[in-house]
Amino acid sequence: MNKHITAEQLQELTEDQKERLRAWWKPEEGDKFYGKDWRGRYCTEWCVYVNEEGEVYRYGYGDIDKMEDCLPLLSIGQMIELLAEEDPGSWSINCTTSGGWYITSNNLYGPKFYVTNNDGTDFIELCDALWQAVKEAL
């Protein structure tokens, strides 16, 4: 089971969606993220470390230039939190008898959606289903 989205999935976002995701994300210890190094190249996976004074550090491969340019590799839990905050109202995570996943939203104040794969089938991975819902909410 996938537990985080991938760097490739982040590229599916528009610039406006990326900015909203950056504004929502408050780095916490253990968070994985994706960012540019000082040469403008993307480093694929970093983690957040918080010291005793509450200062946020990052560690991984390469040298991240600015934390403000980074995007989180959201976990399943973070995606659920984001949906709860960004899509107020009624939404649900559904598991089918065939083992697939889909997300529904009956938001009174925003778009309603029923998220499945492009071919109309349910997602095999819960992480992928949640990611599609997050993209709708952003």
Give every strand in the sheet of 91-95, ordered side by side: 91-95, 101-105, 113-115
Same-domain status, 55 and 90: no
pLDDT attached to residue 75: 95
* pTM of the predicted protein model: 0.78
Q: What pLDDT digit, counting tens, does each position of 31-54 carry?
A: 888 876 666 666 656 666 666 676
Distance CA 25, CA 35 (A): 14
Same-domain status, 26 and 84: no
Same-domain status, 79 and 51: no
Among 7-11, 59-63, 130-134, which stretch is predicted with the lowest mean pLDDT? 59-63
Same-domain status, 106 and 116: yes
Q: What pLDDT digit, counting tens, does each position of 61-114 carry?
A: 555 556 677 889 999 999 999 988 876 667 788 887 777 787 877 765 555 555
pLDDT attached to residue 20: 94
Find out whether 17 and 11 touch, Cβ atoms under 8 Å: no
Same-domain status, 65 and 51: yes
DSSP string, 94-137: EE-TTS-EEEEE--SSS--EEE--TTSPPBSSHHHHHHHHHHHH
Higher pLDDT pick, 9 / 106:
9
| Residue 13: band (very low, low, confident or very high) from pLDDT cuts 50, 70, 90 | very high
Same-domain status, 6 and 67: yes
Domain with 105, as residue range(s), is: 75-138
